[in-house]
Structure 1
Amino acid sequence: MHTYSANSPEAISRILALTMIVDGHVSPSEVHAMHHASSLQQVEVHDDTFDRTLRELCEDLLDEAANRRAGMVEIDPALMDHLLMEIRDPLLQIRLWRAMVDIIQADGFLDGRETTLVRRAARAWFGEESAEDAFTTAVLA
């Protein structure tokens, strides 16, 4: 797995990319949501950085996949938590989490893998007790 500096554009891009691919596909509405997320306006993630990081994430996940032939890649929860912890700045965590919610809602379908990722992010960044409430509030907003 590639290693990126905490709070770096690559670490941010990887979380955004993970949010898009966790359900098995990237929809155009999710990409649009990322580019128009008001919570990310002050975060500098350039298209080339995002594209490179998305490619590296996919390569890393395939390299670590236990059964490539099945056509599905399971993301280890410990790996997911490790990637989330690369975002350490509290304000960045809030902005990124809101963008993640916008992305998973963009296609009009909430996949269980998407909600699991967003809940894990809320637990990692905001604490166990607020994870469920934060997600529910964001989805209903």
Structure 2
Amino acid sequence: MRTYTTDSPDAVSRMLALTMMVDGHLDPEEVDAMRSSGILRRACIDDARFDRVVQGLCEDLLSTATRRCAGDVEIDAALLDELLREVADPALRMSTMKAMLDIVHADGVLDGRETLLIERAFKAWGEPPRLRAA
């Protein structure tokens, strides 16, 4: 799996792409949710960059797949943790997590693989900070 610079637009793009693809298909509602979230603008991700990262992710997943003959592609927990570490800035993590949550809820179906990805991200990134009353 290729590596990206920590907190780079490519690292964020890959997390968004993985979130959309983890359930086995790209849903147009999920793409719309990602675009509506504002994460692309905040992370300086243009369409060409996002498309390039999606293509790279697909290539990497196919080359590292453990169950390709079954039609499934799995990412082990250690590798997923490595990918999650590429987004380290707390504010960027929060924006990325919000977009990931928007994506997984967009089609009205919360797939078990989506749940596992979100749970792993919360574990790696920590729970969001609690808002304190002023």
- Global fold match (TM > 0.5): yes
Partner of 2:78: 78
The 1-side partners of 2:62 and 2:41 are apart by 31
Partner of 2:108: 108
Aligned length, in residue pairs: 129
Q: Identify unmatched segments of 5+ residues in structure 2.
A: none
Report the TM-score when normalising by structure 1: 0.86
Question: 1:36 aligns to what SS in structure 2?
Answer: helix
The 1-side partners of 2:39 and 2:54 are apart by 20
The 2-side partners of 1:75 and 1:94 are apart by 23
Q: For the Cα contact (< 8 Å) 1:20–1:26, is it kept in 2?
A: yes
Residue range with higher mean Cα deviation, 84-93 or 42-51: 42-51
After superposition, what is the alpha-carbon deviation per residue over 1:23-76, rounded to whole angstroms, capped at 9, x for unaligned?
101100000001110455422111111111011011101101123221111111
Quote the RMSD (CA, aligned, Å): 1.6
The 1-side partners of 2:41 and 2:82 are apart by 25
The 1-side partners of 2:124 and 2:3 are apart by 19
The 2-side partners of 1:10 and 1:41 are apart by 13
Report which structure shows greater RCO (CA 8 Å, sep ≥6).
Answer: 2
The 2-side partners of 1:73 and 1:39 are apart by 26
Question: 2:87 aligns to what SS in structure 1?
Answer: coil
Report the TM-score when normalising by structure 2: 0.90
- Runs of 4+ in structure 1 deviating by more than 4 angstroms, as ranges, are none
The 2-side partners of 1:30 and 1:124 are apart by 23
1:45 aligns with 2:45: yes
The 2-side partners of 1:67 and 1:113 are apart by 15
The 2-side partners of 1:26 and 1:54 are apart by 11
The 1-side partners of 2:30 and 2:5 are apart by 25
Q: Identify unmatched segments of 5+ residues in structure 1.
A: 135-141
Partner of 2:6: 6
Q: Percent of pairs identical after alignment? A: 53
